[in-house]
Chain A
Amino acid sequence: MADSQENLASTSTTNATDKEAAKICVLLNATGNVPIIKKRTWTVDPNKTVSWIQKFIHKYLKLDATEQIFLYVNQTFAPAPDQIIKNLYDCHGTNGKLVLYYCKNQAWG
């Protein structure tokens, strides 16, 4: 009985470390007139979407609701908001990191 409990505990810890290891390291770079975020590297759950990161930055920088955060890679390409980070990393990750650039602007009006 005690044995099985120990096993359970050990498996759950490996799960937790697995989960931590499965997270993706994201490097955030500011461009244009957007305020920088001091902490540049973040670990993100691979199943989170691009729009989740956009919302996160928007909240973190306490931006106005009319302003939008744009995320892009490779100086040219803005990934679709419902794209998950894992897919993006598989395509654009380098040296174990996903480098994302962000900027803000009003999109309309």
Chain B
Amino acid sequence: MSEMTWKEFLAQAQEFLKISEQLGDCWVLYEKDASEPNTFLKYSQKIKCKESNDGYVTLINVEYHVVYSVSYQVPMLLFQAHRSDGSLLDLEATWRVFMPDTASKDLYQMLTQTDHPVLFRPFMALHPCRTAEVLDQFGEPSANRVLTFISLYGPHVQLQLANAYGLSK
């Protein structure tokens, strides 16, 4: 199975960080303290979006965290989006911006607000319950499941990795 231990997560996250540095990308590793699971990968970017129907394009700043989920034993993607005036996008606004084409009954099993496992603040989270199953389908086990996870689930919330991430072995 593709569940991973905390140590594996940490090692693969560090490897991912190295690739990011080589490619000049700006992922960072945030370390609250040395205990499990208090280290996570962090990335932020600005994205353009049309929040309302009046056609105005606004810029929002999104901070992504890739955290180890102790209960599911897989990486988990959490994020928080702010408008340029500093206000936070609530759950409904996040759904509108990131998943405009998804039926609302499905949204509750994809993207909801939850407690950040390290920072204990409310964050938007992609549900991890199928992650291990999806990673399992990858024929041979992937060499870096953290990288595989980010490239698989990131695009659902506009987090896209450059093609060159796939070149490393």
84-109 of chain A: CB within 8 A of chain B: 87-88, 90-92, 101, 103-109
How many A-B pairs have beta carbons closer than 8 Å: the answer is 92
Known: A31-B139, A32-B139, A108-B130. A78 touches B148 (CB 8 A): yes
- Closest chain B residue, CB of each to CB of A73: B166
CA distance A42 to B160 in the complex (A): 26
- A91 contacts which of B109, B133, B134, B164 (Cβ < 8 Å)? B164
Number of chain A interface residues as a range: 20 to 34
B58 at the interface (CB under 8 A from A): no
- B130 contacts which of A77, A81, A88, A107 (Cβ < 8 Å)? A107
Note all chain B residues with C-beta closer than 8 A to A78. 148, 151-152
Q: Which residues of B contact A (CB under 8 A)?
A: 106, 109-110, 127, 129-130, 133-134, 136-140, 142-144, 147-148, 151-152, 154-155, 160-161, 163-169
Taking a contact as CB atoms under 8 Å apart, the answer to whether B167 and A31 are in contact is no
Q: Which residues of A contact B (CB under 8 A)?
A: 31-34, 70, 72-83, 87-88, 90-92, 101, 103-109
Taking a contact as CB atoms under 8 Å apart, the answer to whether A33 and B137 are in contact is yes
Note all chain A residues with C-beta closer than 8 A to B167. 74, 91-92
Taking a contact as CB atoms under 8 Å apart, the answer to whether A105 and B130 are in contact is yes
Taking a contact as CB atoms under 8 Å apart, the answer to whether A109 and B130 are in contact is yes
